[in-house]
Amino acid sequence: MNSEFYEDREQTQVKHQILVRYLSAFVPIVGDWASDIIYIDCLAGPWKETDPNMKDTSFSRAIEVLRDTRRVLQDRGKNPTMRCLLIEKDSQSFRKLKGFCDNINDLEVTPENWDFTAHTGDIVHFVKSRNKSFPFIFIDPKGWKPLADDLINPILKLEPGEVLINLMTSWITRFLSDESKHFERLLGPDLPRLRQLQGQEQEEELVRSYAAKVAKAGNFKYTCTLPVMKADQDAFHFYMIYATRHPRGVEVFKETERSVIPFMHKTRAKGQERRRLAQSGQYSFLPAEANYREHRFTEFQLRNLAMAKNHLLAMLQGAEQLSYDEAWYTVMQYSAVADRDLKDWLVDWKSSGSLTFGKVEPGQRLPRKGADQYLKWVKK
């Protein structure tokens, strides 16, 4: 995708990259057993698109992924149907959306001029109208009101199914102390506690609280979050919250995260360089990455590493033995924590004599997922 269409919208480019990378892995996996794969965009837009062909929109990027992955599945002898339900409330945006959809004849694409929160029953019916359907639901609002769990509960409960939600933390934290905004529907009984917090702590606790509500409402076993930085400030604009019931979903999202984080920093570096050039008129002989400045994400990552490590340590010390799979999937739900971080902790603890591995094979350095191996803390 040409980056010129995302100038000064780098956060949107990163969001679309998350969507594309995840769907590219998700569809071939689900397509091995599902006979019907559904992409649902609950607030499709388009909003602020600059490409006349609307290739810089979430629905266009998703449709391209469905086309590409269908070919992958066909090469395996799999041929699930692929459907899209694209929903937009605003009448002007919907006219553009419908015009785009009218030109698609190789996929089943259904545009609807709905307020999706008033049509969750219709969305559920759309999904259940065929057997062995697997929906991937994308909820990307301009604000926070559509994300109240009592509004979206019916679609969160679709099983099987997965959801990706854009939580606009930069807007929510700006108004969180305003009691006239009625955040009770979004955050429930945790709201008073969150209002007592400040700054980064409030923002990060807000995300954890909302992700927990999503998990409970949809009976999701795993939730992963990933912050996306503002294009022109050293701050987070929003968090992408992903919920799944299957451990394979966590693996795919972490693979997505591993590629998207460097992509985000690269696109921001280019944006910073472009703005410097516009202000000074002077070109730099150094690559954009050499002049890149960022502190917020690094601080966030260090905090998450510490929290994940402490969480794992408490699990190890509180159990007779801990399944390596459980350790891995617990730790990987922390944003920006990688598989190599977990391995480093295990190696350090084992080297110090504090940890042993169970059921590992001779010569095996570290446990493996799916091998029924475990970790055991040495009580001294």
The tens digit of pLDDT for each residue in 298-344 reads: 999 999 999 999 999 999 999 999 999 999 999 999 999 999 999 99
Max intra-chain CA distance, the chain: 69
User: Is a pLDDT exceeding 70 seen at residue 2?
Assistant: no
- Structural domains of the chain sorted by starting position, each given as residue range(s) with its CATH number in brackets: 3-271 (3.40.50.150), 296-377 (1.10.10)
Say which range, 180-184, 206-210, 317-321, has the weakest mean pLDDT.
180-184
User: Is a pLDDT exceeding 80 seen at residue 191?
Assistant: yes
Cβ atoms of residues 207 and 304 within 8 Å: no
CA 15 to CA 229: how far, in whole Å? 10
What does R_g of the chain's alpha carbons equal in angstroms? 22
pLDDT at residue 312 in the model = 98
The tens digit of pLDDT for each residue in 88-115 reads: 999 999 999 999 999 999 999 999 999 9
**Mean pLDDT across the chain, nearest whole number?**
94
Nearest Cα to 148, choosing from 173, 167, 163? 167
Average pLDDT over residues 17-36: 96
Q: How many residues does the chain have?
A: 380
CA 49 to CA 369: how far, in whole Å? 42
Give, in order, the Cα–Cα distances in Å from 356 to each of 98, 306, 346, 351, 375. Answer: 59, 22, 9, 9, 6
CA 240 to CA 165: how far, in whole Å? 6
User: Is a pLDDT exceeding 60 seen at residue 1?
Assistant: no
